[in-house]
Structure 1
Amino acid sequence: MNLELHWLVWSIVLGLVYVMAYALVISQTKGPAWTAGPRDEGQPQQGLAGRLARAQRNYMETWPFFAAAVLLAHVLARESTQTALGCALYFWARVAYLPLYAFGVRWVRSLVWVVSMIGLLMVLIALF
């Protein structure tokens, strides 16, 4: 397996970390009865649980584009130093993004998001 596909696999693991972080916090916040129930009351939008939900949603908004770009680079044999670096930038920026969002760090969080998008664009540009 090449480097880009390794980054893709690790990005799947990271996506599960995003999901589990939210799941653990919401379970502690709302309790096991709410977690096991139909959740008709809706999701909390404030506090740590709300920030983790928004971070997870943000990750899931960008990850399909990352996955598609990595898979296309592989299928089209366009992997290069540029795509490997782009994958690493995307992954490590998304690692940093979760705690920055969870703790409400402004500006730096947005800068880290931009870095992740630069990484994604590096992979995408290699397809042209």
Structure 2
Amino acid sequence: MIFIDATWPGDWPQKFLMHDLLCSNPEEMIYDEIRKRSTYLKRKEEGMMTVDERWEKIVEERERKVKENLLKEQEAKNRENARIMVEGGAPTQMISQVTEYPVQEVERMKSEYQKTGTIKM
């Protein structure tokens, strides 16, 4: 992998390419291909819609993954809290309220802990 400091002011072969890639105004770009594509994506309605749709999909996917990870983390915390509370002898109703597990599931955990000394989650 090669890293390039695109802001380096000296003369170098990719100087104008980096200028165009960093440039927000297509009219100031040097390379025609980049200028044309940027103009299409930034100025023309159909180009802006293409970019908007792509960004929308990227954002939606990211939000979905974040929610999924949060749910997994919360479930792991609930399992750990249930285990600690069962081992500590907390009342069934309290464990159910804290972890949002059904009372029957908490009773199963307690029964298993009493029999084996462990809890399968």
Structure 1 length as normaliser, TM-score? 0.24
Give the structure, 1 or 2, with the largest relative contact order (CA under 8 Å, sep 6 or more): 1
Structure 2 length as normaliser, TM-score? 0.25
Which structure has the larger Rg over C-alpha atoms?
2
